[in-house]
Structure 1
Amino acid sequence: MSPTQPSQPRNPATATPQPAPESARVIAALEGVGVRRYSSGQVILDAVDWTVRSGEHWALLGANGAGKTTLLRLVGALMFPTVGTVEVLGHRLGSVDVRELRAVIGLVSGAQKVPQDATGHTVVLTGATGTVQPLWRKYDAATRERAHELLTELDCKELADRPFGVCSGGQRARILIARALMAEPRLLLLDEPFNALDLPSREDLIDALHRLAVGRPELATVTVTHHLEELSPAIGHALLLRDGRVQAAGPVDEVLTGERMTACFGRPIEVSRHEGRWLARSGKR
């Protein structure tokens, strides 16, 4: 391309998010974190050190019971550690009103309560107030338009007037992501967003998350999943948990290896990558 020729705009569906520099703002920092169940003394998390910076996209993987959801709840200011420190968006848990902190963290979870008869647009609107039911007097024209823009950004504007209860699993996931973005969070947490999705719905959601990463370079995301196939090409970092301890954390090329996946899940696993997408399968014994 000549110096005088204008550059072509990037296609968000195929563009690759730029990796966050080491100097990027720290979004979440955990040091020596442990969580124990008081009733039984069971160790859920132990000696966890982890840092998430702006613009980074993390995958959180491990077998059932490894502590993934507990770790996500800590970063989401939904619980406190038994030992260690957790700082989120510059605030240390235990010295900040977590209700205010939660209001600026985007969270998408299958456990969220959503009125099944509410339209997609209404569900997204409730993200502005952090409520289950809409608070109509709180939503001005700009807020309502913002909800429509987010539905468009997540490629589901046609769901604006459709009841949430009749939407497919993939459509619901995209509506909930749009809802989470109403607060303009710098951190978006996704707790198994691909659960029970069929193949087309999974791919639609992966594409939507990839476009989101490209279009919002400052946004940090953490996605809990069981399957490498669910990771979009935007995922640049991964953390492996086993029995509450970090097995590996860092750039995906260093963490998502057959050797480390085998050690994490306790059975031979082969890992491959093609055009930014991952595949894991049981290896030969």
Structure 2
Amino acid sequence: MNAPAVLHAQDVEVVRDGRPILREVSLTVRAGEHWALLGANGAGKSTLLGLLGALGHPTRGTVDVLGRRVGRVDLRELRSYVGHVDPRHPLNSPLKVHDVVLTGLTNTVERVPRQAPTSEQLALADRLIGLLGLGDRRAARWPTLSQGERGRALIARALMPSPRLLLLDEPATGLDVAGREQLIERLDTLQRTCPDLASVLVTHHLEELPPGTTHVMLLRDGRCLASGPADAVLTSDQVSKCFGHPIRLTRVDGRWNVRSGRPAGAGIG
């Protein structure tokens, strides 16, 4: 029996200034599934993720988030049920990690004055901070954090309202190898710890996919090139078509590796 649908997009199109960004894209994400949206820059990945996170409306087609139709409900209320992680979080003040995580309760950048969290909420924040590998950085202030630590703090923040859906927009952007691997390790732990949580991750680097990725959509020029279980979609042939370059794809210990499919020594022209 299929798990309940958390997200459902049907024949979605987005047109901006007369230019199509997404064309006839359909996607269903069920509880416990972990999707990746893959494609080259400009393929429409972040635009689609924004629709799935109730950040905007499609030009045509329908989007249902947690059983609610985008366009028929208050988007601000709907967004409160979705954990949306944006690495470009606009925090400028030197909040401590614990306080940054607690802002997830109010979906605000800063702590809301005169709104004290409960003891249960404080304990949840501590558990999430530990789950994301930041236990020893609980009192560290935002400006002192590495890019990787900030990203993991924002994931903990997004999980504070106990959402059924987690959206991650290129969470490994700007990370060095160590930061990327720490992030992937914690995402993998999160997926195993929260079996009913669904997630959608945007990236254009297959090396950034956690081993627990269950499904993939390949986007090219705003259209869905392929969609379905990860092992069926992530083939050398389909990934080569998606990125417009011959690619050789392998998987070792649950992680994907990419190499050029062009024979060694072959010319570029």
TM range (shorter): over 0.9
Q: Name the counterpart of 1:8.
A: none
Say whether 1:236 aligns with 2:214: yes
CA deviations on 1:64-104 (whole Å, 9 max, x unpaired) are 00000000000000000000000000000111111111001
Residues in 1 aligned to 2:143 and 2:82: alpha-carbon distance in whole angstroms: 25
Residues in 2 aligned to 1:160 and 1:115: alpha-carbon distance in whole angstroms: 18
Residues in 1 aligned to 2:8 and 2:118: alpha-carbon distance in whole angstroms: 36
Q: Name the counterpart of 2:7.
A: 28
Q: Which amino acid aligns with 2:11?
A: G
Q: Name the counterpart of 1:80.
A: 57
Q: Name the counterpart of 1:275.
A: 253
Residues 218-227 or 144-153, more deviating: 144-153
SS, match of residue 273 in structure 1: strand
Q: Name the counterpart of 2:26.
A: 49
SS, match of residue 232 in structure 2: helix
Say whether 1:62 aligns with 2:62: no
Q: CA deviation at 1:147?
A: 1.1
Q: Name the counterpart of 2:119.
A: 141
SS, match of residue 186 in structure 2: helix
Say whether 1:91 aligns with 2:68: yes
Give the CA RMSD over aligned residues: 1.0
Residues in 2 aligned to 1:181 and 1:273: alpha-carbon distance in whole angstroms: 30
TM-score (norm: length of structure 1): 0.90
Say whether 1:207 aligns with 2:148: no
- Write out aligned runs for 1:190-269 (5 A): 190-269=168-247
Pick from 122, 145, 155: which aligns with 2:99? 122
Say whether 1:71 aligns with 2:48: yes
- Whether the 8 Å contact between 1:115 and 1:133 is mirrored in structure 2 is no
SS, match of residue 143 in structure 2: helix
Residues in 2 aligned to 1:115 and 1:56: alpha-carbon distance in whole angstroms: 34
Q: Name the counterpart of 1:150.
A: 128
Say whether 1:164 aligns with 2:142: yes
Q: Which runs of 5+ in 1 are unaligned?
A: 1-21
Residues in 1 aligned to 2:150 and 2:93: alpha-carbon distance in whole angstroms: 10
Q: Which amino acid aligns with 2:138?
A: A
Q: Which amino acid aligns with 1:53?
A: R
SS, match of residue 182 in structure 1: coil
CA deviations on 1:163-206 (whole Å, 9 max, x unpaired) are 11111111111100000000100000000000111111111111
Pick from 156, 159, 165: which aligns with 1:181? 159
Question: Percent identical across equivalent pairs?
Answer: 50
Q: Which runs of 5+ in 2 are unaligned?
A: 264-269
Residues in 1 aligned to 2:113 and 2:186: alpha-carbon distance in whole angstroms: 28
Residues in 2 aligned to 1:111 and 1:260: alpha-carbon distance in whole angstroms: 31
TM-score (norm: length of structure 2): 0.95
Q: Which amino acid aligns with 1:225?
A: T
Q: CA deviation at 1:115?
A: 3.3
SS, match of residue 183 in structure 1: coil
Equivalent residues, number: 262
CA deviations on 1:232-277 (whole Å, 9 max, x unpaired) are 1110111100000000010111111110011111110110001100
Q: CA deviation at 1:116?
A: 4.2
CA deviations on 1:38-67 (whole Å, 9 max, x unpaired) are xx3000000001100000001110010000
